Amino acid sequence: MFTITNITHPTVDTKRPLLLLQSEHGDKFLFGQIPEGTQRTFPENKTRLSKLESIFLTGTLSWASIGGLPGMILTLSDQGVKSMALFHGREIISFAVATWRYFVFRFGMKLSTNVLGDGQVYENKIMRVKSILVDSSTNDDEKSSSLLPKNLSSALRYIVSKMFPSQEPTARHDPASDCQMNVEIPPLQGSPTESTSYEITLKPVRGKFRVEEAMRLGVPKGQLFAQLTKGQSVTLEGGKVIEPHQVLEKQRDFAKVLILDIPSDAYLPQFREKFKDYDMSFLGAVYYFLGDSVTISRDLIELMEHFDHDHNQHFVSHSKICPNSIVFQSSAVTTLKLKAIQPQNYNLPLSSRVLSKEFYECFNKRLPRGNSVIQQSEVPLTSTIGEEKVHIMLQNDSVVIEPFTQGEQQVKLKCQKNFKPLPPWSSLYERHIAPLNIVSASQESVVGGGGRSNIFNNEAKKGKVEIVTIGTGSSLPSKYRNVISTLVKVPYNLNGKSYDRNILLDAGENTLGSLQRTIASADLPELFRNLRLIHLSHLHADHHLGIASLLSEWYKHNATNPNATIYIVVPWQYRIFLKEWLPVEGHKIEERIKFISCEHLVEGGYVRKEIKPLAFETYSEGGGPNNKKRRLECDDNSSFRDLETISQMYRDLKILSFQTCRAKHCDWAYSCAITFFTRSNSSSVFKVSYSGDTRPNIEKFAKSIGRNSDLLIHEATLENELHQDAVKKRHCTINEAIQVSNEMHAQKLILTHFSQRYPKLPQVDNNMKIEAKEYCFAFDGMIVAYDDIGRQVSKLGLLNSVFTEDQFSDDEEA
């Protein structure tokens, strides 16, 4: 028996579909795409991946389809997974993983990238997976051309192997200093267009061995029994030949499964052509992973009808078919509690979506609560497929595939409906809030009309500094906290009119999804048009895996404005990653990005030189492994600050000063302080400082670049009792963060980046005295005006009582 479970369906939390195939013995395989947010779904749904063996990626690879993969690989390695095989139809899989070489590194895990070309097969003891490549073009030359030269393909696989060494390095590892990893990678030759799909054939179950019949035929127990069970004929002493079918019951087979990834309408004719002579025998399930731009049309219905027969089931994934259901329900309940305590600081997670009227009417599906429909065609769609055989892909729904006997039984396939949407907010209020007897809370003010208005940048907050702590956790996403990201809105008053400058300080995985849950879709275009700067403090993955998708979203809202630019202030290695990967995305955002190295803004006169990557030709000629003894050179030019771009940033963003200092964390890690002009007709300024990850840095951060900050946003990863852990992991305790604030003479303080061991509430009492005028503890989705930061203090006792009772419980359900 096998089970296929929907791990994700398209929502803003998890934007692409993913399936988990599991055998009855626990072997696990993933099929589909790994969007940002994927790894967070596993603790949310109590899914364990300790026996995961392989990941079969579908479609055409982009950050939207694999943005969750690097983080998930790191988490799997930390959980003890010793080997992992990645599969895709094109060489881009090796290229993609190799671009992560500056920030993905784990020892003790063997990771391999494998290309399954069109018609090629992967086979193991339980299944046979055939790759099916379909292009949007009919140009055979284009299909057969390689994206990578042969020598580059092998070099990339070698680089990937070095990212996952079997032995732990003896010293703290810096990939930039490793001549086997700090290598220039040539760009892809063209943009990959072929989409990868799969046919899964599950290995049959051998028929039972009929011992009595074997003995009746004169077969002695022992070795001959074993030969017969393996399908081999045997010869008895008298010369009599016994065939396996004489002593074995009939083998039992399983239904075949097709997973079709169709990125756009342009692929539909080629899919029809590819499968025109396909053998439908024993086909039990077809999954349709439809890209956002696929039209719900007659052409799509005809493709589905082509695969229809008596025992086949159809499972459809599309952003206009699947509901935008709230995936992280535990976090949503936490936000509801926080909103009940501080209604002015939280938006309830948004979940409405406009769905396809054609599809829902064609297959007589019930419209999910809170959604509306749109009709794109004048003529209603009809289909010969029975409505009971068409299923909308929903998270946690599954299919159980049981064995059947050919010629005697039909294909056995059972659908299980396990999807549980978040209950209505009114029900959640009655269950979680009403029993708390919060004096100031009412159902109307928290979840009714009064509680559903937008809190961010509303009319009352126009022209005011505002902070959104999008994610507040450290290390990896958890049920209750996503990884770190903070948005700061700093207005600029030009001759009486206010203009917003939005900046992002770090952006962990799925920052975009969190924003889309928090900020109404009607308000997002303005937020991204005003996004002028993204600062990355260091290269640890939990701080930046959300940047690539944020840049794509930024471009979507700024593409038509030729003057729109965005400043990316990052460690120099991350600039290399973006320059390698962004061309794969297919848009022209590169020319809109102004890169500045964090090192070029460092206080003092000394600028550390970048380490020059090894030219690929040199690396290739040296044969990869033979480069071990090569000495990498420093880039002398990199020690000269890019004053032209820095000055342009100052002018464009009305900045007086942007300084960094080296953080006490990992190599190439930084804290920063940014001073903004706030008015055109005066010298008034607003200074915000951000610690990134660091041990307390009194001299360089508190007493130097951050001195007298209006706002300090500081990591407070660990409780005060865990000082030794903080020293070991190069983080701060809460008291140490407060000490930095006090030494800095910061006006206001926000503490964030809490360890995921404190799932809901950090240590809010028994801390040292805070000298800042106002302070608060950050929670995911908290929206607070600078003027209101201190309001939380009066609620700390209530926060403690509300969350302490289930502080260490991981079982709260919506």
Highest mean pLDDT pick, 447-461, 686-700, 765-779, 788-802: 686-700
Which helix H or strand E contains 506, and what residues bound it?
Answer: strand 497-507
| Domain ranges for the chain | 2-203+252-322+353-416, 211-247, 428-610+655-803
What distance in Å separates the CA atoms of residue 187 and residue 97, rounded to the nearest whole number? 14
What pLDDT was estimated at residue 144?
47
Kindly give, in sequence order, each residue whose CB lies less than 8 Å from that of residue 499, ignoring residues fewer than 6 positions away.
491, 492, 493, 530
Judged against a pLDDT cut of 80, whether residue 79 lies above it is answered with yes
What pLDDT was estimated at residue 632?
82
What distance in Å separates the CA atoms of residue 254 and residue 414, rounded to the nearest whole number? 12
CATH architecture of the domain with residue range 428-610+655-803: 4-Layer Sandwich (3.60)
What distance in Å separates the CA atoms of residue 50 and residue 43, rounded to the nearest whole number? 13
Maximum Cα interatomic distance, the chain, rounded to a whole number of Å: 110
Cβ 694 vs Cβ 704: under 8 Å = no
Across 55-72, average pLDDT? 97
What pLDDT was estimated at residue 811?
47
In this structure, the strands spanning 110-115 and 83-88 are parallel
Structure tokens at 289: 């992973």
Q: Do domains 2-203+252-322+353-416 and 428-610+655-803 have the same CATH topology?
A: yes
What distance in Å separates the CA atoms of residue 630 and residue 640, rounded to the nearest whole number? 26
Count other C-beta atoms under 10 Å from residue 225's C-beta.
17
Cβ 784 vs Cβ 776: under 8 Å = yes
Judged against a pLDDT cut of 60, whether residue 716 lies above it is answered with yes
pLDDT per residue as tens digits for the range 647-704: 999 999 999 999 999 999 999 999 999 999 999 988 999 999 999 999 999 999 999 9
CATH architecture of the domain with residue range 2-203+252-322+353-416: 4-Layer Sandwich (3.60)
> Which pTM value belongs to this model?
0.93
Please report where in the chains the tokens 């049309």 appear, as a residue: 297
Distances (CA, A) of 387 to 19, 86, 360, 658: 22, 36, 10, 60
Please report where in the chains the tokens 């003995």 appear, as a residue: 215
412-416 β-sheet, strand order:
110-115, 83-88, 52-57, 28-32, 18-23, 2-8, 398-402, 412-416
pLDDT per residue as tens digits for the range 393-414: 999 999 999 999 887 888 899 9
Amino acid symbol at 194: E
Amino acid symbol at 217: L
What pLDDT was estimated at residue 810?
45
Across 520-525, average pLDDT? 94
Cβ 660 vs Cβ 602: under 8 Å = yes
What distance in Å separates the CA atoms of residue 423 and residue 646, rounded to the nearest whole number? 50
Distances (CA, A) of 614 to 366, 396, 478, 483, 622: 58, 46, 38, 33, 11
Please report where in the chains the tokens 């995911």 appear, as a residue: 780
Beta bridge partners of 198: 131, 259
Distances (CA, A) of 220 to 206, 235, 248, 287, 469: 21, 11, 15, 48, 74
What distance in Å separates the CA atoms of residue 392 and residue 387, rounded to the nearest whole number? 11
pLDDT per residue as tens digits for the range 480-497: 999 999 999 999 999 999
- Which burial class, exposed, middle or buried, applies to 373 when counting CB atoms under 10 A from its CB (0-12, 13-18, 19+)? middle
What distance in Å separates the CA atoms of residue 347 and residue 450, rounded to the nearest whole number? 11
DSSP assignment string, 421-451: PPPPHHHHIIIIIGGG--TT--HHHHTSGGG
pLDDT per residue as tens digits for the range 118-139: 999 999 999 999 999 999 965 5
Number of alpha helices (DSSP H) and beta strands (DSSP E) in the chain: 24, 34
What distance in Å separates the CA atoms of residue 158 and residue 153, rounded to the nearest whole number? 9
